Amino acid sequence: DAMVIQNPRYQVTQFGKPVTLSCSQTLNHNVMYWYQQKSSQAPKLLFHYYDKDFNNEADTPDNFQSRRPNTSFCFLDIRSPGLGDAAMYLCATSRVPLSAVLQETQYFGPGTRLLVL
């Protein structure tokens, strides 16, 4: 049973052309996260939503935006993709913020691999 779903699995876009990546979850979790993972690197947190409260990481470029229209869905918008934005984008969820409860688990989706031509 899929829990964190990301579509599409592969996305090709052109340099400078806006692109949106999608994530949905069937866990009814309150927190949704977006990570960027480049080849042979650890995932890097871009931002997260706790319910409707948006939290941006300090070093996330302004080119990256996010929307969470309801509990189940979260979108990553890249306004003007550059070649350096080619990466795997991972969506993750947790029931509550990690700081709230010891041993809270993050569940990751399969990722969307973005290619920028």
Partner 1 sequence: GENVEQHPSTLSVQEGDSAVIKCTYSDSASNYFPWYKQELGKGPQLIIDIRSNVGEKKDQRIAVTLNKTAKHFSLHITETQPEDSAVYFCTTYLSNAGGTSYGKLTFGQGTILTVHP
* Interface with partner 1 (CB under 8 A): 4, 31, 40-43, 45, 48, 50, 55, 90, 92, 97-111
CA 13 – CA 5 distance, rounded (Å)? 20
Question: Please, what is the minimum distance in Å from the beta carbon of residue 105 to partner 1?
Answer: 6
Q: Which is nearer to partner 1, 15 or 54 (CB)?
A: 54
Question: Please, what is the minimum distance in Å from the beta carbon of residue 26 to partner 1?
Answer: 15
Q: Which is nearer to partner 1, 19 or 112 (CB)?
A: 112
Q: Which is nearer to partner 1, 48 or 81 (CB)?
A: 48
Which structure tokens are listed for 95? Answer: 């029931």
- Bridge partners (DSSP) of residue 108 are 92
Question: Please, what is the minimum distance in Å from the beta carbon of residue 90 to partner 1?
Answer: 5
Residue 71 gets the label, from left (phi > 0), alpha (psi -120 to 50) or beta, of alpha
